[in-house]
Structure 1
Amino acid sequence: MAPRRYVRTYYRFPLQYPVIFGGAPFVGEGRLTNLSLKGCSVTCDREALCGSEVRVSMLLKNEPPALPVELGTIKWVKGNQFGVEFQRVPVDAQQRLNRLLRLELIEWLEKRHRPSSSSGSASQKH
Structure 2
Amino acid sequence: MVESWVIDDGGTTAVSSDVVSEILRARFDTGLSETSLTGSAGRSLTFVTNGERAMVVLLEGPDDAGEHAVDPEAEGSSEGFVLSNGQHDAYPDRDTVPIDVAYGLAERIVATGSWPRDGQWVVDR
TM-score (norm 2): 0.31
Q: Which has the higher contact order (CA 8 A, sep 6+)?
A: 2
TM-score (norm 1): 0.31
